[in-house]
Amino acid sequence: MTTRHDQDIATLRAFNRLYTSRLGLLDAAYDGSPFTLSEARILYELANRTDPMAADIARALRLDPAQVSRTVKRFQERGLVAVRESPAHGRHQLLSLTEEGGRAFATLEASTRMAVGRLLESLSPFQRSRLLAAAVSISDAFEGTEPEVRLRNLRTGDLGLVAARQAILYSSEYGWNGDYEALAARILADFHQAFDPRKDDAWIAEVSGRMVGSIFLVRGEEPGVAKLRLLYVEPDARGMGVGQRLVTTCIARARALGYERLELWTVTALTAACRLYRRAGFVMTGETPNHRFGHDLVDQIWSLRLTP
């Protein structure tokens, strides 16, 4: 049986085969130059660093230090690289490009830019946009640090995006029908039409400029009571603390606006959200079996007292 992990591995390997083929990374020479790919990368580092050592380049490129040393020696023999002892440490050798090495790098750089330019020009505007966005995402993924989660207030277009993403998500994960999308759209339309900054608020969670969650604070029917509504977190952003930040921000804002109690409605199927509410101090105050969104569900009301 093929697992999701197996599928992910196959997807990444297929991308690697396509990427190396389209960019000619398996060719004996890189972009028609007299250099292999690894030689071209080492030449690039030499051109863009000030007096590096071979060990610096090996670490930057994650190459075997012996391989880098052999390449540097070949560059020396071809008159591309000059080597001198470090004034601070006589056993360290500092590297720099000669004039000939600078001209070789300039030729290689121009050839590479032309090759990449031709590749981009061969794509439609839509394909080009997708490729560049994917390149940014891949670079971010390999940087090694978790991207920052940022909360912001609503902008034009967010209401429609929230309704769409929640409807798609809950349909995919729980099989809910279009009734949920209609309910979310009504809640959002009512929020927009009756919005009062003294009583209501909303936040969108973003990671690298992409919406990954939302939460809304809405005044309730009873005086002193507010409602937490439309909390959701995108599947690939779960585990980053997005939901907790949204909930704690909503609670803090409800207190700041003078509400005495914060209530919410959910269903037992949303187990992760229920755990989050419990950790935030909410208490489940009632359950009612119901048929919603094409399924038999159990409604729950949760409540959090905001005043001592």
Give the pLDDT score at 92: 82
In this prediction, residue 29 has a pLDDT band, given cuts at 50, 70 and 90, of low
DSSP characters over 33-68: SSS-HHHHHHHHHHHHSSS--HHHHHHHHT--HHHH
> Which helix (H) or strand (E) is 117 found in, with range?
helix 99-121
Query: Is the pLDDT score of 103 beyond 80?
Result: yes
Query: Is the pLDDT score of 18 beyond 80?
Result: no
Give the pLDDT score at 288: 96
Mean pLDDT of the chain: 91
Query: Is the pLDDT score of 64 beyond 80?
Result: yes
Query: Is the pLDDT score of 76 beyond 70?
Result: yes
Query: Is the pLDDT score of 80 beyond 70?
Result: yes
Give the pLDDT score at 139: 81
pTM: 0.71
In this prediction, residue 20 has a pLDDT band, given cuts at 50, 70 and 90, of confident
Give the pLDDT score at 89: 73
3 φ, ψ (degrees, to nearest 5)? -90, 170
Give the pLDDT score at 25: 65
Alpha-carbon gap, residue 159 to 192, rounded angstroms: 9
Alpha-carbon gap, residue 218 to 228, rounded angstroms: 7
**Residues 6+ positions from 61 with CB-CB distance below 8 Å:** 38, 41, 42, 45, 68
